[in-house]
Copies of this chain bind each other. A is one copy, B any other.
Amino acid sequence: MKATGTVKKILANYEGETPGVKGKLCQMLMHGKLGGTGKMIILPVDQGFEHGPARSFSVNPDAYDPHYHYKLAIDAGLSAYAAPLGPLEAGADTFAGQIPTILKVNSANSLMSDTAGKNQAVTASVDDALRLGCAAIGFTIYPGSDMALDMFEEIVEMRKEAAAKGVATVIWSYPRGEAVTKEGETAVDVGAYAAHMAALLGAHVIKIKLSTDHVMQPEAQKAFEAGKIDISTQTARVAECVRSSFNGRRIIVFSGGASKGTDAVYDDARAIRDGGGNGSIIGRNSFQRSREDAMEMLGKLIEIYKGKA
């Protein structure tokens, strides 16, 4: 598909990157109902790994079936679908070539003791991504965890291999662990820092959580004040995270967190849009609703990102 000017401008930021990676980013940016707008909505379904199937799917039992998610993402006109190896394979024939896919190559689970550390297992490879025709690999890092340095070293190696083979890299950057307070996990200074670290590690697409106006690090508080950086609104905080992503030179999407009311989801999206973010990665808030409700909500989100709602 002929790329729009908006998309070409985004791609031009990926200087020196392989044409294969740029082509994959173009594929995601031109796909679905937001194709060409520079905005994206991604459906991620890795909660089954992290929270178990009951907590993830029992509220909407159709969602136990991996085909459900492929269909939801395709029918809603989303930009991409992200999942671990197993579920991607479970629809690999039926949906081959119909939506860009992101192979989540590391995975956490909630059957772990605290002493096991905040870490994830590498559960798929770049070769798997190639075999399955994925547009990107997805990798979670936990800035703040004592395991973070190991995770950084893992993703740096995988990204190098992926980029050489024309596969893009999405980094889920989720502050967590020994060096981060519970409130700090969504503090704006920490969130912007998390986005920045992902960019520094070479992410092509950055995924972080929306943040609160809490500031965890006192030095950051002082810096915000010195620089007169506004963090009072969600829009302003999104803007700070976008700035921290190389001043907007990297695509950044925001996760919606636990399921909540649609109005809150819409407000989040407007803040992401107005703050200069590139879109939403929205899992539980879509598949923990009935398909009918999810389709309606995703349709509305698309309107919001198009500036029509």
Shortest A251–chain B CB gap in Å is 13
Shortest A301–chain B CB gap in Å is 19
Q: Report B-chain residues with C-beta under 8 Å of the C-beta of A179.
A: 111-113, 116
A264 within 8 A of B: no
CB pair A132–B26 under 8 Å, yes or no, is no
Q: Report B-chain residues with C-beta under 8 Å of the C-beta of A175.
A: 111
Q: Report B-chain residues with C-beta under 8 Å of the C-beta of A203.
A: 86
A6 within 8 A of B: no
A102 within 8 A of B: no
Q: Report B-chain residues with C-beta under 8 Å of the C-beta of A75.
A: 2
Q: Nearest chain-B residue to A75 (Cβ)?
A: B2
Q: Nearest chain-B residue to A83 (Cβ)?
A: B200
Q: Report B-chain residues with C-beta under 8 Å of the C-beta of A226.
A: 58-59
Of B98, B199, B217, the residue contacting A86 (CB under 8 A) is B199
Q: Report B-chain residues with C-beta under 8 Å of the C-beta of A224.
A: 54, 58
Q: Nearest chain-B residue to A14 (Cβ)?
A: B89
* Distance in angstroms between the alpha carbons of A74 and B14 in the assembled complex: 21
Of B15, B116, B164, the residue contacting A149 (CB under 8 A) is B116
Determine which residue in A54, A132, A133 has the highest number of CB atoms from chain B within 10 A of its CB, and name it.
Answer: A54
CB pair B200–A166 under 8 Å, yes or no, is no
CB pair B97–A246 under 8 Å, yes or no, is no
CB pair B55–A152 under 8 Å, yes or no, is no
**Assuming A13-B90, A123-B200, A197-B109, is B19 touching A96 (CB within 8 A)?**
yes
Q: Nearest chain-B residue to A167 (Cβ)?
A: B130
CB pair A192–B246 under 8 Å, yes or no, is no
**Assuming A19-B93, A54-B220, A55-B219, is B98 touching A120 (CB within 8 A)?**
no
Of B23, B53, B153, B220, the residue contacting A96 (CB under 8 A) is B23
Known: A26-B96, A116-B148, A122-B153. 8 other contacts (CB 8 A): A3-B98, A16-B19, A19-B89, A20-B130, A20-B131, A53-B192, A54-B192, A54-B223
Binding site for B on A (CB under 8 A): 1-3, 11, 13-27, 30-31, 48-49, 51-55, 57-61, 64-66, 74-75, 84-87, 89-94, 96-98, 107, 109-113, 115-116, 119-125, 127-128, 130-134, 143-144, 146, 148-150, 152-153, 156-157, 160, 164-166, 175, 177-180, 189-190, 192-193, 195-197, 199-203, 217, 219-220, 223-224, 226-227, 229, 240, 243-244, 246-247, 249-250
